[in-house]
Amino acid sequence: MRSLRLALILFCIGLLAPAPGFTTSETAPAVELQPTQLLPETLATIFSGHETLHYSVSWSGGVKIGDITLKIRPQKSPATGYVIAARVKDYGPLSVIYPVDDQFRCFVDGPMKLPVRYEVEQKEGYGRKTNRLSEYDQQQHLIRYRKNQEKVLQVRINGAVYNEFASFIITRALNFQPREEIIVPTFADKKRHEVKVAMMERAVRKTLFGEIKTLKVQPRMQFKGLYEKSGGTLLWLTDDRCRVPVEIHSKIVVGSLVAKLVDYTNPACPELQPKKQ
């Protein structure tokens, strides 16, 4: 059931290669993310303080194995801060064999929504619990990490970073240009990695909102992170100011995972309304 956790951030689980028809040599030099490369309207919509996304996760051939719920809410202190919270629950017969109930809370702040604190509470199997805490000093380029009651580990980094969770969310607001890769610096495996993200193509796709225009996006990274290296990841975002991730595909060691958006609410994005089935 570790594969269920992979689906939380399919953005960051594999050693990715460019998709067919798109090679690094065809792109302009990758540039590291700057505030000017974020779409202000999209960022404001995502962090309106009332967005909730619910995904159904299936494994090879459509066998449902779990659910993911993500919520983005404002913090009381600091007033400019937000918390991105997620819960991963297993589903079906596998929940009897290896129950999973994981919760994640990523606190972000500032114009680029950089992480300042990341809390992970994992409940997997029977009686097995793991707590992880990461604190990000973006000014001093220092990260403090602790697992359960172990000694605090401090890591120096070269520049500001996202974590695996925050990088997935900020990708939605990237101002993609043709044949250009944007570097989203991401901390994983105790290192700062340059994750290159590119928009592959525009395509009409059947979604929770009906058949709509989408952006097919691919990140490329070379690290393990919380998850095992396994294959390629692709995500489809609505081609509008809301940039909602409607579907995420990822290959794993055995088969593949698909996360499909099955429910969405955000008063700041009234144009996207789920269609009645």
Q: What are the tens digits of pLDDT across the range 20-34?
A: 334 444 556 788 999
Res 275: pLDDT: 84
Angle, alpha carbons 270-274-276 (nearest 5°):
135
Region 37-59: mean pLDDT is 94
CA–CA gap between residue 206 and residue 121 (Å, rounded): 34
Please give the pLDDT value at position 150: 92
Q: Specify the DSSP element, H or E, that contains 98.
A: none
Q: How far apart are CA 203 and CA 238, in angstroms?
A: 10
Q: What is the pTM of this model?
A: 0.85
Looking at per-residue pLDDT, the higher value among 193 and 243 belongs to 243
Per-residue pLDDT, 79: 84
Asked which of 45-49, 87-91, 92-96, 211-215 is least confident by mean pLDDT, the reply is 92-96
| pLDDT grade for 219, boundaries at 50, 70 and 90 | confident
As a whole number of angstroms, the distance between CA 233 and CA 248 comes to 7
**Residue 60: inside a domain:** yes
In a domain, 270, yes or no: no
Q: Write out pLDDT tens, residues 83-136.
A: 999 998 887 666 666 677 889 999 999 999 999 999 999 887 677 788 999 999
pLDDT: is 100 or 221 the higher one?
A: 100
Choice between 191 and 155, residue whose per-residue pLDDT is larger: 155
- Non-local (6+) Cβ contacts of 259 within 8 A are 7, 10, 55, 56, 57, 68, 247, 248
Q: State the average pLDDT over residues 172-185.
A: 92
Could you tell me if residue 167 is inside a domain? yes
Whether omega before 78 lies within 30 degrees of 0, making that bond cis, reads: yes
- Asked whether residue 272 is domain-assigned, the answer is no
Give the H or E element holding residue 237: strand 233-238
| Number of domains making up the chain | 1
Residue 74's pLDDT is: 95
**Domain around 17:** 2-265
Domain assignment present for residue 14? The answer is yes
Q: What is the pLDDT of residue 276?
A: 73
Average pLDDT, the chain: 83
Q: What is the DSSP string of 132-182?
A: EEEEEETTTTEEEEEETTSPPEEEE-SS--B-HHHHHHHGGGB---TT--E
Q: Assess if residue 273 is contained within a domain.
A: no
Q: Is the pLDDT of residue 143 over 80?
A: yes
Does an H or E element contain 211, and which?
strand 210-220
Confidence category of residue 17, pLDDT binned at 50, 70, 90? very low
In a domain, 38, yes or no: yes
Alpha carbon distance 12, 9 (integer Å): 6
Q: How many C-beta neighbours within 10 Å does residue 130 have? A: 12
213 pLDDT above the threshold of 60: yes
